[in-house]
Amino acid sequence: MSSYLFVILGAVLVNNVVLVRILGLCPFMGVSKKLDAAMGMGAATTFVLTLGCGTSYLIDHYVLIPAGVEYLRTLAFIVIIAAIVQVTELVIQKTSPVMYQVLGIYLPLITTNCAVLGVPLLNVSLRHDLVESLLFGFGSSVGFSLALVLFAGIRERLDGADVPAPFKGTAIAMITGGLMSLAFMGFAGLDKYR
Amino acid sequence: MLRKLFKFHGGVKPQTHKAESTTQPIARVPLPERLVIPLHQAVGGHPRPLVAPGDKVFKGQRIGGADGSLSSAVHASTSGIVRDVAPALMPHTSGLTTLSVIIEPDGEDRWGELDKVNYRTTPPDELRDFLRDAGVVGLGGAVFPSYAKLKPGKEGRLKTLVINGAECEPFITCDDLLMRERADDMLKGIVAMRHMLQAEEVLIGIEDNKPEAVAAVQAAIAASGQSGIQAVAIPTRYPAGGAKQLIRVLTGIEVPHGRRSTDFGVQCFNVGTAYSIYEALEFGRPLISRVVTVAGNVDQPRNYEVLIGTPMDHVVRLSGARPDTDRYIMGGPMMGVRLPAFDVPVVKATNCILVGSPALFPPPPPEMPCIRCGECAKACPADLAPFEMYWFSRSKNFGKAQEYHLFDCIECGCCSFVCPSHIPLVDYFRFSKSEIWARERDKSSSDAARDRFEFKNFRQEREKQEKAEKLAAKAAATREKVAADNQAGTASPAAEAPDTAKPAAPSAEDTKRALIAAAMEKARQQKAQVAPKNTEQLSAETQADIDAIEARRAASAATPPTPDA
Amino acid sequence: MLTALLVMTAVALVLGALLGYASLKFKVEGDPLVEKIDAILPQTQCGQCGFPGCRPYATAIASGEADINQCPPGGEEGIRKLADLLGREFKSLSEEHGVEKPKSVAVIDENTCIGCTLCIQACPVDAIVGAAKQLHTVVAGECTGCELCVAPCPVDCIAMEPITETVDTWKWRYPVIQIKQAA
């Protein structure tokens, strides 16, 4: 049981998908100007990534490996994720128009999020079973949301700060992201108490 | 009799500077050469002018009528001649003009005929209308029309009527002097208000740095023999005179965000308002003057009874402004606004003319970055987080600023007062508030435009459709008629015209022809109707006249004009 | 190789079928984007964008037929908001559609008006009142300043007057940030 906890905690903090593995930087920089948008993006990504990890595990184990075509993983996973994103979008649009309005253009953007492809591939290389895959996917997306929301909160405050002219805009955001990444390195120390 | 008092959060204790202007009694101001009375003086609509240039007005004559549901009338402060009704500079930071009545006093200061009421027998609704037409507004500074506040809550009665004599701002002493000198009359006004509001108890809150005022009011209460009215000395702490803060101190009730004090059975009025209500109800005198403190950079700070519309420099001259005076501030140093000129008129909101100089109010030190020390949040009497609101106002993130309850800010200035970085926080809040209001105005006007545009399109569609239907119905009716005519016509002449193959069902061309014939017939009839009718049944004389004219015309035609004439 | 092709085709077919089913099952009528764009547009209904009103323009933007920089009354701020909403780049106002002017209202010169009702028909928001051969006047509060009534007037009696600032519309200025003095 505790190994599952380690999978989740490790994915959220120690190996944070954005700040430590440096995956999914485009939404991290692009959708972090407003806190509300960041939260919406986090929620959508959590849903898609968890579902994507489960589905890709099943496809990998019951289609690709029996057929001996493991080298098609990247291709197959991309197709799966794209389809999941599209279906999610349609379902949300129908069932909850309010949620659809909140998420807006960020939903289709998830398709191009490298974190969403990276995590299923990591699942394969870490030899996770189905439950571990799901937990790892969920943990990674929670870590992604956490980083995104923290970063959006900081950036909202940066709007009012006296930033030197050459550093205004994306430059100071990059520096901030770097500092956050350094701070998350500190979680590696959790390893000692395993 | 000791009463349990409560505390409000925050607050500051600035230097009071009140002693200088309380040494002498309230003085009268001689009539100025001209009075400029702005028509828009109170919260609510713009009263419309009731006089024209050249009119003679009496003291107390109504010159501006209340406009809309929340508005208050304006009156001539003295007798004289209206010189102009034109825009004039108003006592407002913006330096904008507003429609004003300019009166040249005739020196007689003669009252006109005044309406009077007996407030003990008149129903409260009529009293409210009377006070609206008497121009009574809150004299504490907010100038909210008093009649609108003199309504008891849903239960039909009020628990506590709070009278605000706290006067917490530095330099200002007009309420202090009013209570010292006119406590009896003020109390009569309070009794009238209590009657209108059906209030159980009345609490008069006065800061304990005004012992003379407390004593005077207590003596007046004792002399009047009224029960349930109490003058309470409260600890001196700015802004104890804020309505919500005073209510908190006296009753322990904290009015939450988005609610009104009347929801909790409490209503709050200023002492000056109580006095002007007394004047209006007892003598029928409208609000045409008020007590104004002149303080700051003057030789003799003092309180004056000033007619509304008197130019400020006329009043300040009596106290002797020092030569380095560079500005007038209306109100106190904490909440007052800098005025655009020296000769702006005294209005109902003017409780103090604070004369400023660079030595007395040096320019603020340069603004430094916010270090988030939290001093402002400690000082905020409205329990807000000014540093957060400042941050979002500064980055023009107005939605976020509103999330931190920007509109609960009372602009008391405590945060700016305590800020170690000398940030003018209140200026940022005022900026944000007016930007948000402007956006809301734009939005509501664009929503209205959208609705009107959509309605116009809908109306045009409907009209088109109605017209088409009407035409179709008319055509159908004519067609039926023609068909019926044809049937009736063809019944007998069928034998004479055997070549009409289908008399019962005339061809389309026939119908059309019949329609044209019908239209032509109708046109002919109309023409006949239009033709002159007065040519028939002429009297014999008229006929004779016409004949004579015709004869002359014929004669002139027969003899051509001589060529060389 | 053949297996790979077969597997990929099978996966693609299954997912394609799923998507097709979903798009039929969860079909949504109307476009919420149009509403959002329409809310940003200033509702002057002036037609300077080349569309008969703000809503048609919003529809055109949503379907990609029109660019976001065709609304002069909305000005730079309006374009910026549209760019934010649609995730596009900001671009300056297209000159062929007009220039940004201060907000104005139409005023009818009552000495010249002949009561022809042409302006009443032109007004998109019914802000002009009058009747045939009667003096017309503009209800200033409802006028959007679209200028559509100016051209039809046969006697040129309509002028656009900029709205002046009053005490009710006056705004507090942004506090000047003082730069810390050196030394």
Mean pLDDT of A127-151: 93
Residues of chain A found within 8 Å of residue B371, distances taken between Cβ atoms: none
Using a CB-CB cut-off of 8 Å, the residues of chain A touching B397 are: 156, 159-160
What's chain B's average pLDDT? 86
Q: Please give the tally of structural domains in chain B.
A: 2
Shared domain for B346 and B408, answered yes or no, is no
Cβ-count burial of B365 within 10 angstroms (0-12 exposed, 13-18 middle, 19+ buried)?
A: exposed
Same domain, B352 and B372: no
* Distance of residue B266 Cα from the nearest chain C Cα, in angstroms: 30
pLDDT tens-digit map of B28-37? 999 999 999 9
Site of tokens 């403190």: B293
Least confident of B226-230, B489-493, C87-91: B489-493
Domain boundaries, chain A: 2-193
Per-residue pLDDT reduced to its tens digit, B149-177: 888 777 777 889 999 999 999 999 999 99
Query: Which of C7, C25, C27 lies nearest to residue A64, judging by beta carbons?
Result: C7
Residue after which a domain boundary falls, among B417, B452, B467: B467
Range with the poorest average pLDDT among A107-111, B84-88, B397-401: A107-111
- Dihedral angle of Cα C151, C153, C156, C159, to the nearest 10 degrees: -70
Q: Do C7 and A67 touch (CB under 8 A)?
A: yes
- Taking only the tens place, the pLDDT of each residue in B129-147 is 888 889 899 998 788 888 8
Residues B40 and B137 both lie in one domain: yes
Check whether residue B341 and residue B387 sit in a common domain.
no
Q: Does CATH place domain C102-165 in 3.30.70.20?
A: yes
| Amino acid A189: pLDDT | 79
List beta partners, residue B352.
B293
pLDDT for the residue numbered B494: 46
Q: What is the pLDDT of residues C149-175, one digit of tens each?
A: 888 888 888 988 888 888 778 888 888
Instruction: Find the mean pLDDT for residues B5-33.
Output: 91
Longest pairwise C-alpha distance within chain C: 89
Lowest mean pLDDT among A90-94, B193-197, C138-142: A90-94
Flag whether pLDDT at B527 surpasses 70. no
pLDDT of residue A47: 85
At B315-333, the pLDDT tens digits run 999 998 889 999 999 999 9
Q: Which residues of B491-526 are buried (b: 16+ CB within 10 A; e: fewer)?
A: eeeeeeeeeeeeeeebeeebbeebeeeeeeeeeeee
Residue B373 and residue B244 share a domain: no
Preferred mutation among C38, C143, C164, C174 to probe B, highest tally of B CBs within 10 A = C174
pLDDT, position B495? 47
Looking at B426, B447, B467, the residue that finishes a domain is: B467
The pLDDT assigned to B565 comes to 39
Write down the pLDDT at residue C65.
85
Sheet holding B337-338, edge to edge: B27-28, B302-307, B289-296, B352-356, B327-330, B337-338
Quick one: B346 and B395 in the same domain?
Answer: no
Give domain limits for chain C: 32-97, 102-165
Query: Looking at the predicted structure, is the pLDDT value of residue A32 above 80?
Result: yes
| pLDDT(B558) > 70 | no
Give the CATH class of C32-97: mainly alpha
What is the per-residue pLDDT for C165? 82
Least confident of B57-71, B156-170, B470-484, C21-35: C21-35
User: pLDDT at position A101, please?
Assistant: 66
Which of the four pLDDT bands, split at 50, 70 and 90, describes residue B491? low
Interface probe, candidates A90, A103, A159, A162, chain C, greatest C C-beta count within 10 A: A90
pLDDT band with cut points at 50, 70 and 90 for residue B305: very high
Nearest to C18 among A59, A64, A87 (CB): A87
pLDDT at B226: 86
Q: Over 70: is that where the pLDDT of B2 sits? A: no
**Is a pLDDT exceeding 50 seen at residue B380?**
yes
For residues A146-155, give the mean pLDDT.
93
Beta bridge partners of B158: B199
pLDDT of residue C183: 44
Greatest Cα pair distance, chain B, in angstroms, is 123
Q: How far is C69 from chain A (nearest CA, A)?
A: 21
Report the range out of A24-33, A157-166, B362-371, B429-438 with the highest average pLDDT.
Answer: B429-438
pLDDT reading at B79 higher than 90? yes
For residue C180, pLDDT over 60 is answered with no
Task: Give the pLDDT score at B502.
Answer: 47
Task: Report the CATH number at residue B308.
Answer: 3.40.50.11540
Range with lowest mean pLDDT among B427-436, B490-499, C68-77: B490-499
Q: Which residues of B touch C38 (CB under 8 A)?
A: 450
Structural domain range at position B436: 368-467
C-alpha span between B459 and B466 (Å, rounded): 10
Residue pair A176/A147 in contact (Cβ under 8 Å)? The answer is no
Query: Where among B356, B388, B403 does a domain terminate?
Result: B356
Q: What is the pLDDT of residue A103?
A: 66
Does residue B406 share a domain with residue B282? no
Contact call for C15 and A79, based on CB within 8 A: yes
Task: Indicate yes or no: CB of A160 within 8 angstroms of CB of B394.
Answer: yes
Q: For residue B442, is it within any domain?
A: yes
Per-residue model confidence (pLDDT) at position C80: 86
Give the CA distances from residue B560 to residues A36, B548, B557, in Å, rounded to whole numbers and listed in that order. 100, 19, 6
Q: Are B169 and B21 in contact (CB under 8 A)?
A: no
Closest CA to C140 of C154, C159, C122: C159
Q: Which residues of B touch C171 (CB under 8 A)?
A: 431, 434-435, 437-438
